[in-house]
Structure 1
Amino acid sequence: MSDLTVEMVQRGRGPSSEEATRRREIARDMRSAREKLNSTTGLERAFDYELLRVYAQYRSGAGIPLALFAVAMALAAVIWVPPMVAGMWALCVFVAITLNTAQSRRFLRLDPEEVSHALWRRRFAVGDGVQSVCWSLMVGLALTGGRVFALFGLVIAAAVSTMLAATIPAAAVAGLVPLCLATLSYLAVTRETDAVMLVIMAVGSQIFFLSLSQRLYTSTVGALQSRAEKDAIFAELEQAKANSDEARRRAEEANLAKSRFLATMSHELRTPLNAILGFSEVMKNEVFGAHQAPSYREYSNDIHDSGMHLLNLINEILDLSRIEAGRYELNEEAVQLAGIVDECRHMIGLRARAKSQSFEQFVDDSLPRLWADERALRQIVLNLLSNAVKFTPPGGEITLKVGWTSSGGQYLAVKDSGPGIPEDEMDTVMSSFGRGSLAIKTAEQGSGLGLPIVKGLVELHGGSFLLKSKLREGTEVIVMLPASRVMDTLPAVDFEAEAKKAEAKPGRRRMARVA
Structure 2
Amino acid sequence: MSDLTAEMVQRGRGPSSEEVARRREVARGVRSVREKLTSTSGLERAFDYELIRIYAEYRSGSGLPQALLGLAVAGASAFWVSPVIAATWALCLVAAALLSMALSRRFLNQDADAVPVRAWRRLFMAAEVLQSSSWAMMILIGAPSARTFVLFGLVIVAAVATMMAATLPGAAMAAMIPLTLAAGSLLVFSHDMDTVILVTMVIGSQVFFMGLARRVYASTLGALQSQAEKDAIFGELEQAKINSDEARRRAEEANLAKSRFLATMSHELRTPLNAILGFSEVMKNEVFGPHAAPSYGEYATDIHDSGMHLLNLINEILDLSRIEAGRYELSEEAVHLAHAVDECRHMVALRARSKGHSFHELVDDSLPRLWADERALRQIVLNLLSNAVKFTPPGGEITIKVGWTSSGGQYVAVKDSGPGIPEDELGTVMSSFGRGSLAIKTAEQGSGLGLPIVKGLVDLHGGHFELRSKPREGTEVIVTFPASRVMDTLPAMDLEPETPLITDRRGATARAA
- Does residue 76 (structure 1) correspond to residue 76 (structure 2)? The answer is yes
- For 1:472 and 1:5, the matched residues in 2 are separated by 29
Q: Which amino acid aligns with 1:93?
A: L
What are the ranges of 5 or more consecutive residues in structure 1 without an aligned counterpart?
A: 501-515
SS of corresponding position for 1:78: helix
Maintained 8 Å contact 1:390/1:443: no
Residue 510 of structure 1 corresponds to none
Deviation by residue 1:418-466 (Cα, 9 ceiling, x = unmatched): 0101111111111111111122233631111101111111111121111
Please show how residues 4-403 of structure 1 align to structure 2 within 5 Å: 6-9=6-9, 12-403=12-403
Please show how residues 483-494 of structure 1 align to structure 2 within 5 Å: 483-494=483-494
Q: CA deviation at 1:14?
A: 3.0
Maintained 8 Å contact 1:52/1:121: yes
- For 1:14 and 1:5, the matched residues in 2 are separated by 14
- For 2:220 and 2:494, the matched residues in 1 are separated by 84
Q: Which amino acid aligns with 1:14?
A: G
- For 1:464 and 1:157, the matched residues in 2 are separated by 77
SS of corresponding position for 1:146: helix
What are the ranges of 5 or more consecutive residues in structure 2 without an aligned counterpart?
A: 500-513
Shift of the 184–317 alpha-carbon distance from structure 1 to 2, 3 Å rule, reads: same
Please show how residues 491-502 of structure 1 align to structure 2 within 5 Å: 491-495=491-495
Deviation by residue 1:339-386 (Cα, 9 ceiling, x = unmatched): 111111111111111111111111112222222211111111100000
Shift of the 403–473 alpha-carbon distance from structure 1 to 2, 3 Å rule, reads: same
Q: CA deviation at 1:20?
A: 2.1
Q: CA deviation at 1:21?
A: 2.5
Q: CA deviation at 1:86?
A: 2.3
Q: Which amino acid aligns with 1:151?
A: L
Q: Which amino acid aligns with 1:183?
A: A
- For 1:415 and 1:424, the matched residues in 2 are separated by 20
- For 1:48 and 1:63, the matched residues in 2 are separated by 23
- For 2:10 and 2:360, the matched residues in 1 are separated by 41
- For 1:480 and 1:225, the matched residues in 2 are separated by 55
Q: CA deviation at 1:283?
A: 1.1
Maintained 8 Å contact 1:420/1:469: yes
Q: CA deviation at 1:6?
A: 3.3
Q: Which amino acid aligns with 2:488?
A: D
SS of corresponding position for 2:479: strand
Q: CA deviation at 1:487?
A: 2.3
Identity %: 73
Q: Which amino acid aligns with 1:282?
A: V
SS of corresponding position for 1:135: helix
- For 2:462 and 2:302, the matched residues in 1 are separated by 40
Maintained 8 Å contact 1:360/1:400: yes
Maintained 8 Å contact 2:80/2:143: no
Q: Which amino acid aligns with 2:52?
A: L
- For 2:239 and 2:8, the matched residues in 1 are separated by 23
Residue 513 of structure 1 corresponds to none
Q: Which amino acid aligns with 2:451?
A: L
Maintained 8 Å contact 2:96/2:134: yes
SS of corresponding position for 1:378: helix
- For 2:120 and 2:415, the matched residues in 1 are separated by 82
Residue 504 of structure 1 corresponds to none
- For 1:301 and 1:10, the matched residues in 2 are separated by 43
Please show how residues 502-513 of structure 1 align to structure 2 within 5 Å: none
Maintained 8 Å contact 2:419/2:471: yes
- For 2:330 and 2:223, the matched residues in 1 are separated by 57
- For 1:179 and 1:20, the matched residues in 2 are separated by 54
Paired positions, count: 497
Deviation by residue 1:67-114 (Cα, 9 ceiling, x = unmatched): 122222223323333333322222111100011100111111111122
Maintained 8 Å contact 1:357/1:395: yes
- For 1:331 and 1:128, the matched residues in 2 are separated by 85
Shift of the 60–300 alpha-carbon distance from structure 1 to 2, 3 Å rule, reads: same
Deviation by residue 1:482-503 (Cα, 9 ceiling, x = unmatched): 222222333333446x989xxx
SS of corresponding position for 1:29: helix
- For 1:109 and 1:19, the matched residues in 2 are separated by 44
Maintained 8 Å contact 2:64/2:98: no
- For 1:73 and 1:462, the matched residues in 2 are separated by 83
Greater shift, 86-95 or 270-279, is seen at 86-95
Q: Which amino acid aligns with 1:81?
A: V
Residue 505 of structure 1 corresponds to none
- For 1:468 and 1:443, the matched residues in 2 are separated by 23
Q: CA deviation at 1:179?
A: 0.3
Maintained 8 Å contact 1:133/1:179: yes
Deviation by residue 1:163-186 (Cα, 9 ceiling, x = unmatched): 111111111000000001111112
- For 2:443 and 2:36, the matched residues in 1 are separated by 66
Q: CA deviation at 1:4?
A: 7.7
CA root-mean-square deviation: 1.8
Greater shift, 271-280 or 70-79, is seen at 70-79
- For 1:25 and 1:325, the matched residues in 2 are separated by 39
Q: CA deviation at 1:31?
A: 1.2
- For 1:118 and 1:130, the matched residues in 2 are separated by 19
Greater shift, 135-144 or 322-331, is seen at 135-144
Residue 478 of structure 1 corresponds to 478
- For 1:43 and 1:499, the matched residues in 2 are separated by 99
Q: CA deviation at 1:7?
A: 4.1
- For 2:6 and 2:258, the matched residues in 1 are separated by 24
Residue 506 of structure 1 corresponds to none
- For 1:291 and 1:492, the matched residues in 2 are separated by 64
Q: CA deviation at 1:213?
A: 0.9
